[in-house]
C-alpha cells in the first residue's frame, strides 16, 4: 500500500476531494471510504457541499483523532483506563509541583502556571519521543518541563488515557491487523500533524491506500504545514499546476470603529456585485468590542446574509430580557409600577 498526495488551490479543494473519493471507490460506488477532516465543522460543510454536487454514499467523515479513538479506544477501555479530562491533568500537575516544584517554586500555586504546563504537557505527549529528546538537549528549562510532564504521565497512565495514548494504541492496532471497515483513507486539507499523528498515518499507509488532498495558497507561512507534512511522510513534492493569483492588499483609513465597519460592509457588497458568493467572503476584526455588535448591526441593516457569533448576547435580546425581568418580579404581589416597568421594553 502507499501514501500519495495531491496539491490544489484552495478554491479547487472540494472538487479534488470528490475526484479522490471517486478514485478510491473505483468501479464500486458503495465501496467504503473514510475521509479525515480537520474539524467536525469542516466535515459537516464538506459533506453538504459534496451532496449538492451529486451526492456520495458509504463515505465516513471523521477527524483524525476520532479515527484513532475508534481504532485504539476499545483496547484502552478494556484495560480499565478512562478518558483523561482537564481537571484530572490540573490536579496531577498541582500534586507534582507540590512535591517537587523545582524552578517553578515561586509560581507553583498560580493558576496560570498550571494552565501553561498542562498545554505544554499535551504538546509534548503528542510530539513523540524524538521531539522530547530534542527538547531535553536544548535547555535546562526544557528539561524541567519534561520532568513535570513525565511525572504527570506516571501518575495518570495506569487509570487514564489521553490523545497521545489513543494515537499510540491505534498505531499498534493497525500494525497488527487492518481495522474492520477501513479500506481507503483520504486526508482532506490536513493541518499541522503531531509526531504521533504522523506515525499513525504512516502505519495506515502500510496496510491501506492513503491519499492526501492538500492546498497551496502561495503564502509561505500558510503553506509551511503542507511542506512539513509532505517532508515528514517522505513524499516527493507532488507535481501540480496550481496557479497562485495573489490579490493586492488595500489599507483604508477611517475616523472611528463605526465608519470602519460601514466601509467593510460596502467592500462586502462590492465583492458580491462583482460575482463573489457571500460564503466566500469573511469579515475579521481585532476585538469583540466594539466590532462584533457593529458588524452584526450593519450586515443586518444591509440585508446581507451572514453566519457567525452574534455581537448581541442572549440576555440582551427582547424575549430573554422579558423572562429575566419576570423572574425579578416580587412574588408576594405585583405592583402597578413594576408591571409598567416590565412592559416598557416589550411591544404590548
Give whole-number Cα distances, 136 to 45, 124, 132, 150, 185, in Å: 42, 11, 6, 12, 35
Reported as a single tens digit per residue, the pLDDT across 68-101 is 999 999 999 999 999 999 999 999 999 999 999 9
For residue 249, which phi and psi values (nearest 5 degrees)?
-105, 130
Please list, in sequence order, all residues whose beta carbon lies within 8 angstroms of the beta carbon of residue 305, skipping any fewer than 6 positions away: 278
Reported as a single tens digit per residue, the pLDDT across 112-158 is 999 999 999 999 999 999 999 999 998 899 999 999 999 999 999 99
| pTM higher than 0.85 | no
- Distance (Å, whole) CA 270 – CA 57: 39
228: confidence class by pLDDT, cuts 50, 70, 90:
very high
316: confidence class by pLDDT, cuts 50, 70, 90:
confident
For residue 46, which phi and psi values (nearest 5 degrees)?
-65, -45
Domains of the chain, start order: 3-71+165-232 (3.40.50.10930), 82-158 (no CATH), 257-312 (no CATH)
Mean pLDDT score of the chain, rounded to an integer?
90
Residue 347 has pLDDT above 70, yes or no: no
Per-range mean pLDDT, top range of 25-29, 201-205, 232-236, 336-340: 201-205
Helix/strand/coil (H/E/C) assignment for every residue in the chain: CCEEEEEECHHHHHHHHHHHHHHHHCCCCCCCEEEEECCHHHHHHHHHHHHHCCCCCCEEEEEHHHHHHHHHHHHHHHCCCEECCHHHHHHHHHHHHHHCCHHHHHHCCCHHHHHHHHHHHHHHHHHCHHHHHHHHHHCHHHHHHHHHHHHHHHHHCCCEECHHHHHHHHHHHHHHCCCCCCCEEEEECCCCCCHHHHHHHHHHHCCCEEEEEEECCCCCCCCHHHHHHHHHCCCCCCCCCCCCCCCCCCCCCCCCHHHHHHHHHHHHHHHHHCCCCHHHCCCCCCCHHHHHHHHHHHHHHCCCCCCCCCCCCHHHCHHHHHHHHHHHCCCCCCCHHHHHHHHCCCCC
Residue 259 has pLDDT above 60, yes or no: yes
pLDDT in the model for residue 247: 72
Residue 244 has pLDDT above 70, yes or no: no
pLDDT in the model for residue 202: 96
35: confidence class by pLDDT, cuts 50, 70, 90:
very high
Reported as a single tens digit per residue, the pLDDT across 41-73 is 999 999 999 998 878 899 999 999 999 999 999
319: confidence class by pLDDT, cuts 50, 70, 90:
confident
Residue 288 has pLDDT above 80, yes or no: yes
- Distance (Å, whole) CA 69 – CA 84: 13
Residue 348 has pLDDT above 60, yes or no: no
pLDDT in the model for residue 346: 67
Residue 339 has pLDDT above 80, yes or no: no
- As a whole-number percent, the residues of the chain with pLDDT over 90 amount to 70
pLDDT in the model for residue 320: 78
Amino acid at each position: 500500500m502507499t501514501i500519495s498526495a495531491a496539491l490544489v488551490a484552495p478554491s479547487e479543494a472540494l472538487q479534488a476531494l470528490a475526484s479522490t473519493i471517486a478514485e478510491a471507490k473505483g468501479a464500486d460506488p458503495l465501496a467504503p471510504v473514510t475521509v479525515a477532516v480537520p474539524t467536525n465543522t469542516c466535515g459537516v460543510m464538506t459533506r453538504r457541499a459534496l451532496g449538492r454536487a451529486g451526492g456520495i454514499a458509504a463515505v465516513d467523515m471523521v477527524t483524525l483523532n476520532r479515527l484513532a479513538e475508534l481504532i485504539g479506544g476499545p483496547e484502552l477501555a478494556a484495560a480499565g483506563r478512562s478518558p483523561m479530562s482537564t481537571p484530572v491533568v490540573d490536579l496531577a500537575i498541582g500534586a507534582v509541583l507540590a512535591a517537587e516544584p523545582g524552578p517553578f517554586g515561586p509560581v507553583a500555586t498560580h493558576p496560570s502556571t498550571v494552565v501553561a504546563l498542562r498545554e505544554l504537557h499535551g504538546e509534548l505527549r503528542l510530539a513523540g519521543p524524538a521531539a522530547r529528546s530534542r527538547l531535553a538537549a536544548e535547555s535546562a528549562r526544557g528539561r524541567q518541563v519534561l520532568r513535570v510532564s513525565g511525572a504527570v504521565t506516571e501518575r495518570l497512565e495506569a487509570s487514564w488515557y489521553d490523545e497521545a495514548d489513543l494515537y499510540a494504541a491505534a498505531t499498534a492496532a493497525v500494525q497488527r491487523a487492518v481495522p474492520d471497515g477501513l479500506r481507503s483513507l483520504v486526508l482532506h486539507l490536513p493541518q499541522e500533524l503531531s509526531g504521533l499523528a504522523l506515525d499513525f498515518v504512516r502505519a495506515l499507509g502500510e496496510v491501506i491506500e492513503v491519499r492526501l488532498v492538500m492546498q497551496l495558497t502561495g503564502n509561505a507561512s500558510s503553506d509551511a504545514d503542507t511542506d512539513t507534512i509532505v517532508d515528514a511522510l517522505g513524499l516527493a513534492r507532488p507535481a501540480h499546476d496550481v496557479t497562485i493569483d495573489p490579490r493586492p492588499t488595500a489599507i483604508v483609513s477611517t475616523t472611528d470603529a463605526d465608519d470602519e465597519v460601514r466601509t467593510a460592509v460596502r467592500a462586502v457588497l462590492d465583492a458580491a456585485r462583482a460575482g463573489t458568493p457571500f460564503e466566500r467572503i469573511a469579515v475579521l476584526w481585532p476585538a469583540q468590542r466594539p466590532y462584533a455588535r457593529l458588524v452584526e448591526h450593519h450586515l443586518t441593516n444591509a440585508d446581507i446574509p451572514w453566519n457567525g457569533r452574534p455581537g448581541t448576547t442572549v440576555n440582551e435580546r427582547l424575549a430573554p430580557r422579558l423572562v429575566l425581568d419576570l423572574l425579578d418580579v416580587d412574588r408576594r404581589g405585583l405592583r402597578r409600577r413594576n408591571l409598567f416597568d416590565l412592559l416598557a421594553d416589550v411591544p404590548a
